[in-house]
Structure 1
Amino acid sequence: MHGDRGLTVGGPPNAQSPPSAADVRAQLDILLASPAFDVPARARRFLSYVVEETLAGRGDRIKAYAVGMEVFGRDKNFDAQNDPAVRIEAGRIRRALTHYYLAAGLSDPIIIDIPKGAYVPHFAWRTEPVTDGPAATGPPPETPAASLPPMPRKRIMWLGAGLAALATVVLLVMVFLIPSRDAPVPTAQAPMPGGPTLVVMPFADLGGSPETKIYAQGLTEEVLSQLARFKELSVLGRETSRSIPPDADAARIRRDLGVRYVLEGSVRTAEHQLRVTGRLLDAETGAVLWSQAYDEDLRVRGFFAIQDDVAQKVATAIGQPYGIIARSDERRTQAGAPEDLEAYACTLRFYGYRAALGPASHAAIRTCLERAVDRYPSYATAWAMLSMLYLDEDRFGFNPRLGSPTATQRSIEAARLANRLDPENVRGLQALMGALFFTEQPVEALRVGERAVALNPNDTELLADFGARVGQAGDHRRGMALMEQALVRNPGHSGYYNGVLAQLAYLERDYERAQLLMRQVSLEKFPLYHFVSAIIYAQLGMKSEAAEARDRFLQARPAIFEQWDREMAKRNFRPEDATLLAEGARKAGFPVADTTAAETALRTAAPQR
């Protein structure tokens, strides 16, 4: 048969036999099904087209003009010579193939490549097959497998394809166990949308002592490890970093590796002083987006403590959801992102929504993310963000959808799906923490939160959310400590952080500090904090200020007081905390009932103490 051409009976293909058409198509299917082959849909069509044309014997017809017409849908006036679209897409495919075969495809039997200078693909076995001949001399390898007959390459290939198919079936079965009208579950694998890619250059040794080289290598490794925890970033591996020539500029790195950002660093020592510098470059323009120097005294702290601290600061500044890369990417997408970045742009807009919390942006981002998961059903981060938006329908009353499943049910379903797709995705764990917490499962919620913070303690979006939940559940001081850590690491998001801190200071009955904190909050951006302002002012006897804040809040959320007990319960406030909130609310003039469920619970429990 054609698929067996060049195969010996029970053995691998001979050295002169190229892969058959069936072999190549099987490898192409494995490649296109792998999330590690990270290219947009048009690039996948491009690769499929040139492979099929070559297998059909029409390789001589594969020109830029033909690709533009057949793949890109251009008309007959397409000017392939002056329009670089085909060349750019081909470069993207070449880089993605290189990355795939260096990692996920390391054991694939067939390599598909598109050599530079043309668009005709090349197909080859990963290594030269062994021909029939005399046995090699020398002792056999010291492994039990040495006595086993070699498995034919084609069998390996189909075994790999079978395992991939089995994994897909298992995922689909798991996903279909949780049906939802509003949170559609994935029915097929799809490529992930393109997020920002980053390469960390080896930190340069600028001299000063024999140990400086070791310091530079250690910092490079630690920064790589810290940045790799941010799931929204694609960080190239250390082997790739080490392969870059020291004199390579950002433009060359972008051309060769396809990365969008380059992090450079250097280490210098002088007596007991250590200086570490870092800077982030936009590889497309060469612009310096961020630069920072860190000075340390090796007599005060050991190098390992300094290394961990500096690496954490660098990773937090660059990789966190409100960091340098996120802000840079947001500006890019606002300026007009390509269609294949639409799903990723949704995630950037999500952070803008979280920074202000308003119903208008909530509706737009929810719609955008629902389209994103429809196009990319395995995009765990998008499912996690969608879970948080569904939860906000319930806890803030933003754009609620009536009927079943409820907002909290959709939130739980989307968060659990995000966790099944990527169990170590911090955003997925954050979403699950929130969904569990607001469905009155605080113990499990905080357990999930602890795990998420352990996975990435540099993520201030997560750290602040976890701190707020810890504080609401009753551990005010730990909650405040976590919020203060987030504030130090991300002062640009101080409005939200200070608002939560003010609420926790109120629950600690430190009304003066609560007032000072609330004065640092932009209430135009966070109108929900008018309630916190009102009860703080009321406790301090500032009646006019309390009345103004009360009226502003009632304009936004008048119905919340009709379900006061329910609102307190789903936020897991202790009875004594809910009672203190009710006391302040009555003093501010809010329509809270004379006796609440929390106050009744306290009175019932009092004789037993």
Structure 2
Amino acid sequence: MHNGSNHGVDGPSQAQSQPSAEDVRAQLDRLIASPDLDLPARARRFLRYIVEETLAGRADRIKAYSVGTEVFERDPNFDAQSDPVVRIEAGRLRRALEHYYLVPGLSDPVIIDVPKGAYVPHFTLRNPPEADVAETAEVLDPPAPAAPLPPSPTVPPSRPRRSLRIGLGAAAVAVTVTGLAWWGTSRPIPRPPAQASAAGVPSGPTLVVMPFANLGEGPDARIYAQGLTEEVLSLLARFKELSVLGRETSRAIPPDADVLRIHREVGVRYVLEGSVRTAGHQLRVTGRLLDAQTGAVLWSQAYDDDLRIRGFFAIQDDVAQKVATAVGQPYGIIARSDERRTQAGQPEDLEAYACTLRFYGYRAALSPASHAAIRTCLERAVDRYPSYATAWAMLSMLYLDEDRFGLNPRPGSPTAARRAIDAARLANRLDPENVRGLQALMMALFFTEQPEEALQVGERAVALNPNDTELLGEFGSRLGQADDRKRGMALLEQALARNPGHSDYYNGVLAQLAYLEREYQRAELLMRQVTQKKFPLYHFVSAIIYAQLGMKTEAAEARDRFLQERPTFFDQWDREVAKRNYGPKDGALLAEGARKAGFPVPDTTAAETALQSGIPQR
């Protein structure tokens, strides 16, 4: 599947007009000055250098060597192959720009991005003039001699892309789907039935999936559009943080109703619409997410494929998964938009729901201050809404972080671990199919040394929603620690690749797992991509990696920082290793690195004793 660039906004996939140099410099200054652009000073210098060089007509000079010597002050003998500083900082810059344009930069007039594979930036106007859109449409969809594609009235065209054209046998598709019955445009749109208030749960974002428009040839195109609508709706409904209206409501909405009317009469906050277009063997699916209150396009994407290469069902599953992940996941477009909405002080009573949005911000940073604030916020939320399963699940994870990370521990009984288990089990009793509740239970069981049951719960959660990248990352982390390293790392890498708002925490876990595989160079490169300097264990993992690589100065700095934050950690070293379910071999390797870094590890640890006694590794 070949799909277009996705910035999470109505950006480069639609805009072909080039901003002026003055506009680009204004946007550059806005970026450099913004506290929301998560970049250190040298990465900001990197950004300014490549933008100014491009504007000056010297884009061909932007190579790893010139960046390394002119921005990062490497000597003239700099070798980009042996010193990956430019590649690492470019990756950090790309991620920071992507995160910035998801929420704080959602309305910025110019998008600056750095495509993978090079260091030359691209500049795009977010909202091109109408003439440019029309011109793009003509270039994108020229009349075909035998089968012209009509212009789409539903979704604006995206940038041109090549379709896949590998000659294979045509796939036969035979599907029977009930036809849609549209209401007349003059009739009022019926409101969906009100949800029972007895559940005592605050309302989150409400989404309606409009039937995908059929813009293709022949009867198969109608079947494709209907099937894709059903699949997208089904996958999005698995995200329990969303309220997805049923197909009956979406079918009752006139196809030409504008989003403001839909918001007014149905009360939804977001509208997902799309189209399916066919010509011969070529299939194009387009989709976009609209803010129903303002009509603004928050996200758009186009996907091209060839029905001779893959059958429609394979294409349908692939496209629906990509759409559901981009729109519905915890770090996805709706979550980012709602976070911005609540931060802007919307007049609605969103305190309880806002707590759940802030939780994901905490997960990305793991700072003690945000932990304490969100724990208090969620405790107020469940006190007010005792049936709010998602809030109980998140509260369970925050209680667990008291125990495993030592964040804001509360003395007395019940212990943090006990509170974590109790809150997770309550979340699952309230909503047995809530993926966040299953994730919380998996984690609580795992860190109370019940790994087999924990991983069984994790498998059940992934089966319920394999598109939830927050869950994939956490399940992958637990598998890796339990010594299923290959699958755990694969799931972590999948979660990071599919999630533009991913947590640095998962890169840190990958680094730790690479360390346990004795891939110290890879572990060090991964840790360079993590910016969680307020998170104590970041410094422990950094220290043992540096120590194994003989980087004594860096190891000492990281060691001292960790000991400042967690001075009593090594008093219970064996307990800390056991609660994370490391086998004897892994526990011994952690102790080895910790000693090399200068940590006060016991002379003989439980893991080393077990290893010497011949206790098998799990």
- Residues 190 and 455 (structure 1), Cα distance of their counterparts in 2 relative to 1, 3 Å cut: closer
In the other structure, the counterpart of 1:269 is: 278
The answer (yes or no) to whether the contact 2:489–2:513 under 8 Å persists in 1 is yes
Q: CA deviation at 1:525?
A: 5.7
Query: Which among 595, 606, 611 is matched to residue 597 of structure 1?
Result: 606
What is the CA distance between 1:515 and its match in structure 2?
1.4
CA contact (8 A) 1:190 1:375 kept: no
Aligned positions of 1:458-607 closer than 5 A: 458-493=467-502, 495-524=504-533, 526-605=535-614
Larger Rg: 1
Matches within 5 A, 1:282-297: 282-297=291-306
Map 1:220-235 → 2, pairs under 5 A = 220-235=229-244
- Counterpart amino acid of residue 221 in structure 1: E
Find the counterpart in structure 2 of residue 48 from structure 1: none
1:359 paired residue number = 368
Residues 415 and 435 in structure 1, CA contact (< 8 A), matched pair in contact too:
yes
CA contact 2:277–2:285 (8 Å) conserved in 1: yes
Q: 2:465 aligns with which of 456, 461, 470?
A: 456
In structure 2, relative to structure 1, the CA distance for the partners of 1:525 and 1:223 (3 Å cut) is farther
The residue identity in structure 2 corresponding to 1:427 is R
The counterpart of 1:99, out of the listed 192, 201, 226, is 192
Shift of 1:313: 0.6
Q: Which amino acid counterpart does residue 409 of structure 2 have in structure 1?
A: P
Residue 393 of structure 1: which of 402, 420, 437 is its match?
Answer: 402
**Quick one: structure 1 residues 96 and 366, their matched pair in 2 at CA, closer, same or farther if it must change by over 3 Å?**
farther
Report the Cα offset of residue 546 of structure 1.
1.5
Alignment of 1:93-172 (within 5 A): 98-100=191-193
Counterparts of 1:481 and 1:313, CA distance in 2:
18
Aligned residue for 1:259, secondary structure, equals coil
How far does residue 272 in structure 1 lie from its aligned partner after superposition? 2.1
Out of 303, 309, 312, which is 1:303 matched to?
312
Letter in structure 1 aligned against 2:244: V
Q: 1:511 to 1:245 in 2, by over 3 A?
A: same
The answer to whether the 8 A contact 2:469-2:499 is kept is yes
Note the C-alpha offset of 1:212.
1.4
**SS state at 2:350 partner:** helix
Shift of the alpha carbon at 1:559? 1.6
Match of 1:427 in 2: 436
SS at the partner of 1:333? helix
Kindly indicate whether residue 253 of structure 2 is the aligned counterpart of residue 244 of structure 1: yes
For structure 1, the 5+ residue unaligned runs are 1-94, 105-187
CA distance 1:607–1:264, change in 2 (3 Å): closer
Q: Distance in 2 between matches of 1:555 and 1:209?
A: 70
Q: Distance in 1 between matches of 2:548 and 2:507?
A: 19
2:208 maps to which of 199, 211, 223: 199
Percent identity between the aligned chains? 83
Aligned length in residues = 431
8 A contact 1:194–1:340 mirrored in 2: no
- Displacement of 1:607 in angstroms is 11
Any idea what the Cα deviations from partners look like across 1:99-122, whole Å, max 9, x if unmatched? 337x87xxxxxxxxxxxxxxxxxx
Instruction: Please list the CA deviations of residues 570-598 of structure 1 after superposition, one character each: whole Å capped at 9, or x if unmatched.
Output: 01001100110110111111111111010
CA distance in structure 2 between the partners assigned to 1:492 and 1:370 by the alignment? 26
Distance 1:368 1:339, change over 3 A: farther
Aligned to 2:146: none
The one-letter code sitting in structure 1 at the alignment partner of 2:470 is E
Is residue 2:440 matched to residue 1:412? Answer: no
> Which amino acid counterpart does residue 421 of structure 1 have in structure 2?
L
**Separation (CA, whole Å) in 1 of partners of 2:529 and 2:199:** 44
Equivalence for 2:82: none
Asked if structure 1 preserves the Cα contact closer than 8 Å seen for 2:208 and 2:270, the reply is yes
Aligned residue for 1:370?
A: 379
Separation of aligned partners in 2, 1:240 and 1:360 = 43
Distance 2:500 2:241 in 1: 21
1:255 aligns with 2:264: yes
Distance 1:464 1:562 in 2: 30
Alpha-carbon distance in 1 for matches of 2:323, 2:431? 25
Q: 2:337 aligns with which of 314, 328, 331?
A: 328
| Contact 2:536 2:566 (C-alpha < 8 Å) held by counterparts | no
Looking at structure 1, the residues matched to 286 and 488 of structure 2 have their Cα atoms a distance apart, in angstroms, of 33
What whole-Å deviation, never above 9, does each CA across 1:112-157 have from its counterpart, x for those lacking one?
xxxxxxxxxxxxxxxxxxxxxxxxxxxxxxxxxxxxxxxxxxxxxx
- Greater fraction of residues in helix: 1
- 1:429-478: CA deviations, max 9, x gaps? 01111111111000000000100010000111111011001111111111
* 8 Å Cα contact 2:505-2:532 kept in structure 1: no
- Displacement of 1:494 in angstroms is 5.3
1:366 aligned partner, one-letter code = R
- Aligned amino acid, residue 360 of structure 2: Y
Report which stretch shifted further, 599-608 or 279-288. 599-608
Contact 1:193–1:340, Cα closer than 8 Å, also in 2: no
Contact 2:189 2:262 in 1 (8 A): no
Structure 2, gaps ≥5 residues long: 1-187
Distance 1:567 1:311, change over 3 A: same
Structure 2 vs 1, CA of residues 494 and 397 (structure 1 numbering), >3 Å: closer, same or farther?
closer
Amino acid aligned to 1:368:
C
Superposed CA RMSD: 2.1
Change (3 A) 1:98 1:607: closer
Higher relative contact order (CA 8 A, sep 6+): 2
- CA distance in structure 1 between the aligned counterparts of 2:345 and 2:189, rounded to whole angstroms: 24
CA contact (8 A) 2:270 2:292 kept: yes
| Residues 607 and 571 of structure 1: CA distance in aligned 2, closer, same or farther (over 3 Å) | closer
**What CA deviation, in whole Å up to 9, does each residue of 1:460-517 have, x standing for no partner?**
1111011001111111111101101101110331522211111111111111211121
Please state whether the residue corresponding to 2:305 is helix, strand or coil.
Answer: strand
User: Is the CA contact 1:476–1:507 (under 8 Å) kept in the aligned structure 2?
Assistant: no
1:210 is displaced (CA, Å) by 3.6
Q: 1:342 aligns with which of 338, 342, 351?
A: 351
Match for 1:551: what amino acid? D
In structure 2, the partner of 1:72 is none
SS of 1:386's partner is helix
- Any conservation in 1 of the 2:189–2:265 contact (CA below 8 Å)? no
Residue aligning to 2:390: 381
Whichever residue aligns with residue 256 of structure 1, its letter is E
Q: What is the aligned partner in structure 2 of residue 437 from structure 1?
A: 446
Letter in 1 for 2:482: A
